[in-house]
Amino acid sequence: MASIASGEDGAVPEDDVPTGDVVSEPAASPGVYRLRAVLHAVSPLIWRRLLVSGESTVADLHTIVQTAFGWGGEHLHRFVIHGAEYGINYVGGPGFRDARQVRLGGLGLRVGERFFYEYNFFAGWRVDLRVEEIVAAEPGRVYPRCTAGRRAGPPEGWDGPWAFLDATQPHLVFAATLRAAEIVGQLLDADPDAEPATVGVDRDELTALLPLLGLERFDRRGLNRALADLATTTETKPS
């Protein structure tokens, strides 16, 4: 991700200014886009508010959205912006405009404009994005970052929004909570040195319950640590 900015403008060294020539002003910064990202067709809403540098490529934005919703990037994706499709081209796959060659600030997006991101075409996950504001970068601030959000992102292995809604119906969440409490009780009553399997606890069952138990949890600090790691990774990549 070659475009995560700190927001500091570089001045032209005095020694580099040719004598007698007219000095042009440095190019204006592409700014920072405040994007509201909402998971489509899911209620209650699962959403994030993201600050993304205009220098970020569309491919960078893919990684940012993946991180924001806790996904791993295992499936095909595309952005649809102003009617054009952006993604990464693979042999035998659909053709897109190369998302690695286009920067967010070069798309001509204006405040209030909307576009969307699709992930895993078989499951049909879709994130609707809206430009809420375009602001100047703050000196010393690392982008991207998240300023708000609600609810945990759905497991990407689930079969899209309709399957997610079916699996998270209130009575199923309630049953999962009761079963988790039962498992915890078994563990508390067991010998402290005993393995879960010896007290009738199935690790796979516990793993399956976790998404239902954490539906309302959104860890913004944890997300921002992950986004900061993206910036660090970018800075250490060879150009």
Quote the pLDDT of residue 79: 98
CA distance 71 to 65: 8
On whether residue 163 sits in a domain, the answer given is: no
pLDDT at 144 over 80: yes
Count of the separate structural domains present in the chain: 2
On whether residue 6 sits in a domain, the answer given is: no
Each residue's pLDDT tens digit, 38-74: 999 999 999 999 999 999 999 999 999 999 999 999 8
Each residue's pLDDT tens digit, 146-194: 999 999 999 888 889 998 888 888 777 677 677 776 776 666 666 666 5
On whether residue 202 sits in a domain, the answer given is: yes
Residues 116 and 136 in one domain: yes
Residues 148 and 225 in one domain: yes
CA distance 75 to 85: 16
Residues 127 and 227 in one domain: yes
Each residue's pLDDT tens digit, 210-222: 777 778 889 999 9
Q: Which domain holds residue 114?
A: 29-153+217-236
pLDDT at 11 over 60: no
Residues 187 and 144 in one domain: no
pLDDT at 231 over 70: yes
Quote the pLDDT of residue 15: 41
Quote the pLDDT of residue 19: 43
CA distance 33 to 105: 8
Residues 74 and 175 in one domain: no
Better pLDDT: 54 or 6 = 54
Residues 42 and 105 in one domain: yes
On whether residue 205 sits in a domain, the answer given is: yes
Quote the pLDDT of residue 239: 44
Residues 40 and 64 in one domain: yes
Helix (H) / strand (E) containing 105: none
Quote the pLDDT of residue 193: 62
Report the percentage of the chain scoring pLDDT > 70. Answer: 73
* Bridge partner residues of 150 (DSSP): 47
DSSP state of 102: -
On whether residue 16 sits in a domain, the answer given is: no
Quote the pLDDT of residue 180: 72
pLDDT at 142 over 50: yes
Of 61, 45, 62, the C-alpha closest to 53 is 61
Better pLDDT: 2 or 98 = 98
CATH at 148: 3.10.290.30
Residues 97 and 114 in one domain: yes
On whether residue 4 sits in a domain, the answer given is: no
Residues 42 and 111 in one domain: yes
Residues 56 and 43 in one domain: yes
On whether residue 147 sits in a domain, the answer given is: yes
Q: Count of CB atoms within 10 A of residue 202's CB? A: 11
Q: Residue 187 corresponds to which amino acid?
A: L
In this prediction, residues 5-17 reach a mean pLDDT of: 40
Better pLDDT: 131 or 170 = 131
Residues 186 and 201 in one domain: yes
Residues 58 and 72 in one domain: yes
Q: Residue 130: pLDDT band by 50, 70, 90 thresholds?
A: very high
On whether residue 9 sits in a domain, the answer given is: no
